């Protein structure tokens, strides 16, 4: 099988597995224990915390380990909801957020919070002037993703953060699809909160982190034994934390080679298939994703055919797989229902090879041809690119 659905999850890197193994065996001890073995495990957690902090330019004490990115998002939003209250605050977010932000915002709205959702342009980037208007005239907090999980489009996060701070807003960014793929530095972009998920960059599923800027007010979602300096109680998932730290260390590598493979894949699809649309900004995007639509094809049908050919891709967010409605992200970009339903999200990782990309491109050409009921390539027609 050729795996090209790395925005859904990534395979655990062999070096990450190797780093984790001792903590399933001889180093099994509770890190809160007072004896030497427990302290040794505690030291491993501290080292991993430093590796995560280094990846995003944070201090060690600003990193809180969580169970996943969804938990990190919920921890922030529910903390801010309690701090600000619903009577005199506004929540500003975007129309293209992941459901781990959209659903908490809907829950806040249901109990009386004012929630304002900013639109995006045809390239999938936040409309900054609209965002500025939404932040004006009220106090509250804002949440804008760093990079979109479906299209890979990187948002103007520095500008959005500056606008929010000028308006007196606390600012959170869901950076789950950005960290480990593009440069994310919380000293350069002074977000108050940042969510990270390990399984998006070769750590195992079930481990995440939350960046809390030093000095910001925070109300814990999970209270108990006081782990993570009281910010997220519960006995630490030591093997996964260690693996998370190792993955963060690996992600400091340059991703230019992955971008070259992505560009090669897109070039082949555009040149060999008629009626191809490349969705989202060409300039502002992570290096790991190609979001492509095919005229006269259903994305769901292509996914099935490609799976039969041994190529694994997706039609969008893994959390939305099986749902029949068009992607809310593509609808926000102004794309038609038919266009949105004809899309594939093809996502690569540092483990993807050129041979796999070429084999996948061959399979896509065959699948599109079969689904359209046309023998041969049919020639190359006009190509649309949204930028």
pTM of the predicted protein model: 0.92
Under 8 Å between Cβ of 184 and 201 = no
DSSP output for 305-363:
HHHHTTEE-BSS-GGGTT--SPPHHHHHTT--HHHHHTEEEEE--TT--HHHHHHHHHH
Could you give the CA distance from residue 280 to residue 172 in angstroms, rounded to a whole number?
23
Instruction: Give 38's DSSP letter.
Output: H
∠ CA(179), CA(79), CA(48), 5° rounding? 40
Question: What pLDDT is recorded for position 137?
Answer: 85
Q: Which of 313, 285, 300 is nearest to 385 (CA)?
A: 285
Whole-angstrom distance between the N-terminal and C-terminal Cα of the chain? 32
Question: What pLDDT is recorded for position 384?
Answer: 46
Question: What pLDDT is recorded for position 323?
Answer: 56
Active-site option among 118, 135, 297, 319 = 319
Could you give the CA distance from residue 62 to residue 231 in angstroms, rounded to a whole number?
11
Segment 283-335, tens digit of pLDDT: 999 999 999 999 999 999 999 999 999 999 999 654 545 556 788 999 999 99
The pair of three-digit structure tokens given for residue 11, joined into one six-digit string: 């395979």
Q: What is the sign, positive or negative, of the torsion defined by CA atoms of 348, 350, 356, 361? A: positive
Q: Which of 246, 236, 99 is nearest to 176 (CA)?
A: 99
pLDDT by residue, tens only, the chain of 387 residues: 999 999 999 999 999 999 999 999 999 999 999 999 999 999 999 999 999 999 999 999 999 999 999 999 999 999 999 999 988 789 999 999 999 999 999 999 999 999 999 999 999 999 999 999 999 988 899 999 999 999 999 999 999 999 999 999 999 999 999 999 999 999 999 999 999 999 999 999 999 999 999 999 999 999 999 999 999 999 999 999 999 999 999 998 778 999 999 999 999 999 999 999 999 999 999 999 999 999 999 999 999 999 999 999 999 654 545 556 788 999 999 999 999 999 999 999 999 999 999 999 999 999 999 999 843 444 444 444 444
Strands 90-94 and 276-278, bridge-based pairing: unpaired
Quote the longest CA-to-CA distance of the chain: 72
Could you give the CA distance from residue 345 to residue 288 in angstroms, rounded to a whole number?
10
Question: What pLDDT is recorded for position 375?
Answer: 35
CATH of 14-250 given 2.60.120.10, 2.40.10.170, 3.40.640.10, 3.40.50.2300: 3.40.640.10
Q: Could you check whether 2-9+255-385 and 14-250 share the same CATH topology?
A: no
Could you give the CA distance from residue 286 to residue 56 in angstroms, rounded to a whole number?
16
Provide the H-helix boundaries in 21-127: 36-56, 69-84, 99-110
Q: Which of 150, 135, 141 is nearest to 98 (CA)?
A: 150
The reply to whether 319 belongs to the active site is yes
Locate the domains of the chain by residue range: 2-9+255-385, 14-250
Tell me if the domain spanning 2-9+255-385 has CATH number 2.60.120.650.
Answer: no
Strands 289-294 and 343-347, bridge-based pairing: antiparallel
């Amino acid at each position: 099988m050729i795996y090209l659905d790395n925005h859904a999850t990534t395979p655990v890197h062999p070096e990450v597995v190797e780093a984790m193994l001792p903590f399933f065996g001889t180093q099994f001890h509770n890190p809160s224990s007072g004896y030497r073995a427990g302290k040794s495990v505690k030291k491993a957690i501290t080292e991993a915390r430093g590796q995560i902090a280094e990846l995003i330019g944070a201090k060690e004490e600003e990193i809180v380990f969580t169970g996943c990115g969804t938990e990190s998002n919920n921890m922030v939003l529910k903390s801010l909801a309690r701090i600000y209250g619903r009577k005199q605050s506004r929540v500003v977010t975007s129309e293209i957020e992941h459901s781990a932000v959209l659903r908490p915002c809907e829950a806040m709205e249901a109990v009386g919070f004012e929630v304002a959702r900013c639109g995006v342009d045809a390239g999938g980037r936040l409309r900054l002037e609209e965002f500025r208007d939404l932040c004006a005239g009220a106090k509250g907090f804002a949440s804008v993703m760093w990079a979109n999980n479906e299209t890979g489009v990187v948002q103007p996060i520095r500008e959005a953060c500056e606008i929010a701070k000028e308006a007196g807003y606390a600012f959170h960014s869901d950076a789950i699809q950005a960290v480990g793929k593009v440069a994310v530095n919380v000293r350069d972009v002074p977000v108050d909160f940042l969510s990270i998920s390990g399984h998006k960059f070769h750590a195992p599923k079930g481990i995440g982190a939350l960046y809390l800027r030093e000095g910001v007010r925070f109300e814990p979602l999970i209270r108990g034994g006081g782990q993570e300096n009281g910010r997220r109680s519960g006995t630490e998932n030591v093997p996964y934390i260690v693996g998370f730290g190792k993955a963060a260390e690996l992600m400091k590598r340059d991703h230019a080679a992955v971008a070259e493979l992505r560009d090669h894949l897109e070039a082949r699809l555009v040149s060999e298939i008629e009626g191809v649309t490349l969705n989202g900004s060409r300039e502002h995007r992570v290096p790991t994703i190609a979001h492509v639509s095919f005229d006269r094809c259903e994305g769901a049908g292509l996914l099935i055919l490609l799976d039969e050919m041994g190529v694994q891709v997706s039609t969008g967010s893994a959390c939305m797989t099986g749902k029949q409605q068009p992607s809310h992200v593509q609808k926000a970009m102004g794309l038609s229902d038919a266009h949105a339903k004809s899309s594939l999200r093809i996502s690569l990782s540092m483990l993807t090879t050129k041979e796999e990309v070429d084999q996948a491109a061959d399979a896509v050409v065959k699948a599109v041809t079969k689904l359209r009921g046309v023998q041969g390539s049919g020639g190359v027609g006009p190509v649309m690119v949204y930028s």
